[in-house]
Structure 1
Amino acid sequence: MDLIQEAMKLPVDNFLGMLIYAVIYMLITGIVVSLALRFIPNRLPYTVKSMIVGIAVFISLIVWWNTIIK
């Protein structure tokens, strides 16, 4: 447990910390995307839904990268 706590300290300068933060952000992104898909109306075209999901994933990657760099 001490190894994980040490790896999570910011700024992240090791592979384990980057991996842990990536998994956390992927879980959060999955929850946000599933909620977005649940509440997006079905009458919208598939491409619009895909763009919304892609934007959500892109924003989470930017937030993840800024967290690691910080």
Structure 2
Amino acid sequence: MDMIRESMALPVDNFLGMLIYAVIYMVVAGLISGLSLTFIPNRFPYAVKSLIVFIAIVISLLIWWQVILSPALEI
């Protein structure tokens, strides 16, 4: 457990920490896309629903890039 805590210290400078944060962000992106699909009305076309889910996933990936990878690349 100490190894996981040490690997998740920001800025992340090892592969295990980046992998753990990537999994966390992917789970959050999946929850966001699932919730967005749940609460989007059915009268919207399929393309609009797909676009909303795509935007949610891209935003979560941008947040992951800014929080985890950018500080790690500057080391």
Output one character per residue of 1:10-68: Cα deviation in whole Å (capped at 9) or x when no partner. 11111101100000011111111111100101111111111000000000000011111
Return the letter of the residue paired with 1:56.
A
Paired position in structure 2 for 1:21: 21
TM-score w.r.t. the length of structure 1 is 0.95
In percent, how many aligned pairs have the same letter? 64
Paired position in structure 2 for 1:47: 47
Paired position in structure 1 for 2:61: 61
Aligned Cα root-mean-square deviation (Å):
0.8
SS of alignment partner, residue 9 of structure 1: coil
TM-score w.r.t. the length of structure 2 is 0.89
Aligned length, in residue pairs: 70
Return the letter of the residue paired with 1:58.
V
How many Å separate the matches in 2 of 1:65 and 1:50? 22
How many Å separate the matches in 1 of 2:30 and 2:4? 23
Paired position in structure 1 for 2:2: 2
**Post-superposition, which runs of at least 4 consecutive aligned residues in structure 1 deviate over 4 A?**
none
